[in-house]
Structure 1
Amino acid sequence: MLRVFSVAFWAFIGITSPVFFLGALAVWLVTLPFDRRRVVLHLYSSAWAICYVYLNPLWRLRVRGRDRLPWRGAAVLVANHASLVDILVLFGLFRPFKWVSKQEIFKVPVIGWNMRLNGYVPLVRGSGASVRRMMEHCDRLLSAGSPIMIFPEGRRSPDGALQAFKNGAFDLAVRHGVPVFPIAVHGTGRALPKHGLVLRDRADMRIEVLAPLDPAEFASVEDLRDAARQAISEALPPLRVR
């Protein structure tokens, strides 16, 4: 039964996404003259993504601490990553951030086109040149006042356990003097594990925005990184931390 439902769910996304993309294109064209940061387009994209979460009868999503996130001003948002569903639920924050995402997703028809319209940041894992371009792109976004969203683990956890964090997000925060917002994502691994596209049974998912970290209060990038990881690890169930 879950296999049948999964096929129907992904087919629904495939059928409706082109319609949503036409709306995104219209929003982009209308707001292009006055919305240089593409805030309206991102909020439209957030509504597009989150509708699939709320329309799925197997899923329940709660968001806590959203009011901690700024509407204006640069920031670095970092979240744990256990499932493709993380991307959908984090759009539920409804704040004007820019995603850092692997370049392969930018090549996906419709979804990738919308990511390019939004000015999100592509990254090729394992490529030093791509990492440098990503950091330069993020520098420009932060300088323009746009928050960025990064998964500091670099890739999805194979078993839901919290992995080591990379330095990139925290180096950006230190250099730009902007706050880091750790975000704990709960329950998405149960909704859809790393391997396969068959949805699991009911999942109670939750996003928890934790207290921001001021880079000025830490002696090094590594200290800031470790503090962010510690904050997320303390918010997650013990079995999800290693």
Structure 2
Amino acid sequence: MLRVFSVAYWAFIGITCVVFFAGAVVVWLVTLPFDRRRLVLHLYSSAWASFYVYVNPLWRLRVIGRARLPWHGAAVLVANHASLIDILVLFALFRPYKWVSKQEIFKVPLIGWNMRLNDYVPLVRGSSASVRTMMDHCDRLLTAGSPVLLFPEGRRTPDGSLQPFKNGAFDLSVRHQVPVYPIAVHGTRAALPRNGVILREHVSARVEVLPALDPADFPDSESLREAARQAIANALQQD
């Protein structure tokens, strides 16, 4: 039954993406003259992604600490990455930010096109030139007052354990003197295997926004990085 349900669910996503993307184009065109940061389009995209979480009878999602995230001003958001559906549940934060995501996602019809409309940030893993381009793009976004969200592990965990964090997000925080918000994503790996698309039994996931870290309180970006990783690790240990 799970296999049949999974096929039907992914087919439902594929079909409804056509409708949602058409709506995204309308939102983009209407708001383009006055919404340079594309806040309205991002919130529309958040509703689009969250819809697929809340209509799935196998999934339950709670968001804890959303009020900690700012509506205005630049910030760096960092989250652990255990599953493909991390992207869906993090959209449920319903706060303005720009994703940093692997470039392959931007090539996916409809979804990738919407990511480009939103001015999200592509990254080619393993390419130093792409990393520099990504950092420059994030610099522009932060200067304009837009938060950015990154997975500092760089890729999904292969075994469920929290992987070492890369420096990029924390270099951005120190350079722009903006806070880092660690975000612990719980339970998503149980919902969908790393190398598969067959959904599993009922899963309760939650997104937990942890207290902000001020870069001024740390001597360098490496200590800020480790503090953020430890905060997420401590939160995940409560599962």
Calculate the TM-score normalised by the size of structure 2. Answer: 0.99
Secondary structure at the aligned position of 2:138 is classed as helix
Q: Residues of 2 paired with 1:237 and 1:53: CA distance?
A: 24
Tell me which residue corresponds to 1:95.
Answer: 95
Residues 211-222 of structure 1: matches in 2 within 5 Å?
A: 211-222=211-222
Are residues 1:107 and 2:107 paired?
A: yes
Is 1:226 aligned to 2:220, yes or no?
A: no
- Distance, in Å, in 2 between the alignment partners of 1:74 and 1:96 is 10
What is the identity, as a one-letter code, of the residue corresponding to 1:152?
P
Q: In 2, Cα distance between the equivalents of 1:89 and 1:179?
A: 22
Number of paired residues?
239
Per-residue CA distance 1:138-180 (angstroms, 9 max, x = gap)? 0000000000000000000012110000000000000000000
Q: Could you tell me how far apart the structure 2 residues matched to 1:67 and 1:112 are?
A: 29
Asked if structure 2 preserves the Cα contact closer than 8 Å seen for 1:82 and 1:193, the reply is no
Please give the secondary structure, in 2, of the residue aligned with 1:77: strand
* Partner AA of 1:121 in structure 2: V
2: CA distance, partners of 1:193 / 1:183: 21
Deviation at 1:237, TM superposition (A): 2.5
Q: CA deviation at 1:193?
A: 1.6
Structure 1 gap ranges (5+): none
**Displacement over 3 Å in runs of 4+:** none
Residue of structure 1 in register with 2:127 after alignment: 127
Whole-Å separation in 1 of the counterparts to 2:40 and 2:130: 28
Instruction: Assess, with a 3 A threshold, how the Cα gap between structure 1 residues 238 and 207 changes in structure 2: closer, same or farther.
Output: closer
Give TM-score scaled by structure 1 length: 0.98
Q: Name the structure 2 match of 1:141.
A: 141
Separation in structure 2 between the aligned mates of residue 148 and residue 160 of structure 1, nearest angstrom: 24
Partner of 2:5: 5
Structure-2 residue corresponding to 1:183: 183
Percent of paired sites with the same residue:
77
Q: 1:81, 1:156 within 8 Å by CA — same for their partners in 2?
A: yes
Q: Cα RMSD over matched residues?
A: 0.8
Structure 2: how far apart are the matches of 1:204 and 1:160?
A: 16
